[in-house]
Amino acid sequence: MKKNLALTGMMGVGKSTIGKLLSKKLLMRFADIDLIIENKLNMKIQKIFEKRGEAFFREIEEEISLQEIKKKNVIVSLGGGAFINPKIKKVVLSNSKSFWLDLDLKLLERRLITSKKRPLLKDKNLKKILEKIYNERKSSYGTANYRIDCNKLDKNLITNEVIKIYENN
């Protein structure tokens, strides 16, 4: 039986985009955790943070991530902070092949400079906060089964690289 596939990495790295492409090519169901949370609560992530706080969001994120990861034949796009949760990481590593999509912070900053939907980046020095979050999370991301350096690859090359690794290991 095929293992599930989980994508982790910083916000804005392209987990949702790559997940959708992988889903089509591998004929697997796609679960975007942030989107599932938004649909379940009928509220955007930013509003959840504003109205209910980060702790509430992390509880819901854990519950939904664990449900989705345990399903069969699924590609899961985890939220940027999900993989630092020990429960989520443990279930991902035992049920999935996990991929850290890694991207240089300068490129991430360019992608996120105009984003209004990232609550952790709101009202802050973008470069500093990205560095802080990345440094807090990179050791956790580094425990994923595979790391894809996305710096010189477009979305199709990243997708093909993940498929090659997924199918050969």
Interval 1-43: pLDDT, tens: 678 999 999 988 999 999 999 999 999 999 999 999 999 999 9
Please tell me the chain's helix, strand, coil percentages from 3-state DSSP, rounded to the nearest 5.
60, 15, 25
Tokens coding 52: 């209910």
pLDDT recorded at residue 45: 87
pTM: 0.91
What pLDDT digit, counting tens, does each position of 147-165 carry? Answer: 999 999 999 999 999 999 9
Q: Which long-range contacts (CB under 8 A, 24 or more apart) does 50-57 make?
A: 50/119, 54/119
Q: Where are the domains of the chain?
A: 4-154
Tokens coding 92: 């991902």
What pLDDT digit, counting tens, does each position of 85-140 carry? Answer: 999 999 999 999 999 999 998 888 887 776 666 555 565 677 888 889 899 999 99
**31 CB burial (10 A radius; 0-12, 13-18, 19+):** buried
Domain spanning 4-154: which CATH class is it, in words?
alpha beta
